[in-house]
Structure 1
């Protein structure tokens, strides 16, 4: 399935540098917390008070999924889930179970303040609906729908779950890449790869709203739009030597190329930085890159074996 495909459309770490500074800086012990990530071979995530996003979940492929507690920095293995995502604000979680129930795939939405959880049917076996993407208002979840054809998984459309109504609607979309994946735009539509660019679909019925031709493939699975929605990250088209491009969504054009070669991106930190995995020697680092491609902060050191185990990371804003 899509596990690391979305990451590698490419389809979340020693020393610190404060954003905007050229050299390393030492943070007061009270301002920083090194969070242990179970199951990762000793990885510690370096968190600082006031960070605009929080590491809220992570996993190794679809076999091991870990969710952060509502208080502190403890992560717990979610044995029944293949993935989990925390909504903006941190109150709700959306989890995809490892197994069908009564012949249906489903989404489990949990209210973390009350503990109440509800299972919402999504698609019927043998289809699968996974790679949960929360809308920015925290009211809907988009899932990518796949079907196994000739021994290989192929994307055939999307499912949108209305959390309050506890209802799901699946839309088949023609002309998709086998490795396409869906995620929300800031204005409540859905975005996916299309050819060597992107296409925007209406969430209600899958109607094509806009095509960004030749701008490069999405850097998902996390939201590729900046917090203000004024920039969109893509993997640069092959005509450029740079790997990371910034697109102006209003113009539909590449407006900047970033001098960096990350292995993967896990969304935006703020409007001036992205969260990236970069190679370092024989291993990797999770870092913040500014829009010139400079590392401004190291978030975690990643052993090669951990990254090779299909590590994914999910961050939540406003939690």
Structure 2
């Protein structure tokens, strides 16, 4: 787990008798705290959002379901120690495991190979064997739920996804992380242990390649590949492990090996055609043997490898992050500009809209053509699932309401929501929350010269209710820079060189150090997986630095000589705007500053605002 940060001002001193001593992380499900039990033992306490499980009866059902996880034998898992309700909010207490996640290690140190990958496979499938034997299905197995502790890998968060699915009023039946979900999780079938094996195989592919098994571009594209495409497992050198991973990625859950059979095959104790065994005493003997083997090998590996949480520098960026950008396969001119765009179908981001001075040009679905909309005043921003869009309607800052349209993309129908009626306020930069439940619109009241804010705030748009709440923050930043999402919080570039985080009501939460804003930034500074942000290394320099959102660890310095940053291409690459010959180019660079591909060229430095989207075009 990451290094804890200090408790926030609104954190309680204790929960259910556990004393809170720091925060380990925060996400869509709730907040994870480092705490101590009555005997002084350190534990990880996860306090879930109250709205995730609905009423009191649903909360009790959640607690009963999670309590099943306490039956899981502690083979390569972070043991669940306690669960209950505190003030109506469910909490889960588990063993505190020190060490980074598999996602962090692969991102910072590169893919796992050879014996390291085999140890990881044995330990994690051992954990799934124990989990399944207890009658529990993980349902959210992924690289960030595997901790690489000093005594070997540990699997965390098992059983939580199923409990949420059974009790939540918000999840609509699909719980998990789409990139690692099995095909049946997108349908009506109730996912069982075989879904965990699919996710396990995807996680092993990620560990071996540093890439998501079915890509990480738009959600519809990823789901489409999960349902129809076969991933490339050629980077797994061991033929037996490669065959097992491919078997576990079968589209038909009935064809996937169970955890016990997979463990047999990893230990060389079961031929490929052996029927799936029933988990029992024999399998648990194998589990014990696997744990002994894995721990012994891991101890040797720890002598040879770098510390678990090294300082990340440009030199330590994984070489696998280089050369993985697909070449462009098509190009088109952008109307009313001098820009030409070069793209490939597999690109994780594509141009969706831009402001051309006489209206907003919106890219038509499934094409490379744009349609002008005079009624909009800012780029049109598709939702994460691609079904809707947000667009600010034309307004006068000095009078009249500032409104945003929630647009149904297939039909074009709109719901118009007022985000501010205050005289003189500017409204711009609509943004979607990751779950698509909320919109975010930046509001500002410029000073007399128009180059600084005398008042700053934002509007939170409730998409389902088509309503908005205007929020004013205490400390206006120095320039016209937009608000943006940082997980469930709202971020703002502050005057003191930090990024200030607020909740949806405008209450200050904490600050991220090293938040020096770029000279100009078109999209947002937070990486797609939400773990890192990019900023200038110094307030007056041009080099970029990538920092963890958690506040721990070191920075990656990205050499850069331009002034304009577009945003993130994927979790390991940035998109920048920089001089080229007599004009300018928009290019993908890796975190060592190397240019990998050109996305667009133009001769006009003053080209207007534009938006690249991860949603389906």
> Does the residue aligned with 2:377 lie in a helix, a strand or coil?
strand
Match of 2:337 in 1: 40
Q: TM-score, normalised by structure 2?
A: 0.44
Which one of 353, 359, 362 corresponds to residue 64 of structure 1? 359
Alignment of 1:246-285 (within 5 A): 246-251=546-551, 255-285=555-585
Give structure 1 stretches of 5+ with no counterpart.
1-18
Q: 52, 73, 82: which one pairs with 2:377?
A: 82
Correspondence for 2:590: 290
Contact 1:97/1:106 (8 A) holds in 2: yes
CA drift of 1:267 comes to 1.7
Aligned pairs, number: 288
Give how far 1:201 is off.
Answer: 0.8
TM-superposed CA distance for 1:70, in Å, is 1.1
Compute the displacement of 1:253 (Å): 6.3
Give yes or no for contact 1:242–1:258 (8 Å, CA) kept in 2.
no
Q: Which residue of 2 aligns with 1:131?
A: 429
Match of 2:348 among 42, 52, 58: 52
Larger RCO, structure (CA 8 Å, separation 6 or more): 1
| Moved segments of 4+, more than 6 Å | none
Deviations 1:214-248 (A, max 9, x none): 44226644121111122210012148x66111111
Q: Secondary structure at the match of 1:80?
A: coil
Residue 519 (structure 2) pairs with residue 222 (structure 1): no
Normalized per residue, the structure richer in strand is 1
More helix by share: 2
Shift of 1:181: 2.3
Deviations 1:9-63 (A, max 9, x none): xxxxxxxxxx8339x99x5xxx72212210112x221110211122111123x54
| Structure 1 SS opposite 2:605 | helix
Pairing partner for 2:323 from 21, 44, 49 = 21
1:105 aligns with 2:402: yes
Look up the match of 1:142: 440
What does the per-residue CA deviation read over 1:256-303, in whole Å, with 9 as the maximum and x for residues that have no partner? 111122331222111111111111133110100111001000111111
When the two structures are superposed, what TM-score results if normalisation uses the length of structure 1?
Answer: 0.83
Q: Tell me by how many angstroms 1:114 deviates.
A: 2.3
Of 372, 383, 387, which residue of structure 2 is paired with 1:91?
Answer: 387
Instruction: Judge conservation of contact 1:173–1:206 (CA < 8 Å) in 2.
Output: yes
C-alpha separation between the residues in 2 aligned to 1:167 and 1:284? Answer: 41
Does the 8 Å CA contact 1:129/1:159 hold for their aligned counterparts? no
Do the aligned residues in 2 keep the contact of 1:217 with 1:236 (CA within 8 Å)?
A: no
> Do 2:522 and 2:609's aligned partners in 1 also have CA atoms closer than 8 Å?
no
User: 2:497–2:539: 8 Å Cα contact kept in structure 1?
Assistant: no
The worse-fitting range, judged by mean Cα deviation, of 257-266 and 72-81 is 257-266
- Structure 1 match to 2:273: none
- Maintained 8 Å contact 1:198/1:212: yes
Cα distance in 1 between the residues matched to 2:553 and 2:573: 20
| Bigger-Rg structure (1/2) | 2
| Alpha-carbon separation, structure 2, partners of 1:193 and 1:148 | 16
Q: Distance in 2 between matches of 1:278 and 1:287?
A: 8
Q: Is the 8 A contact 1:89 1:316 kept in 2?
A: no
Cα drift, residue 254 of structure 1 = 5.2
Q: 1:55 to 1:296 in 2, by over 3 A?
A: same
Q: Deviations over 1:145-203 (max 9, x none)?
A: 11244353624211111111100000111111142421111x21100011212111112
Give 1:142-291 correspondences, 5 Å limit. Answer: 142-152=440-450, 154=453, 155-179=455-479, 180-185=481-486, 187-194=487-494, 195-203=496-504, 205-217=505-517, 220-238=521-539, 243-251=543-551, 255-291=555-591
Instruction: Quickly say closer, same or farther: Cα 1:259–1:150, change in 2 above 3 A.
Output: closer
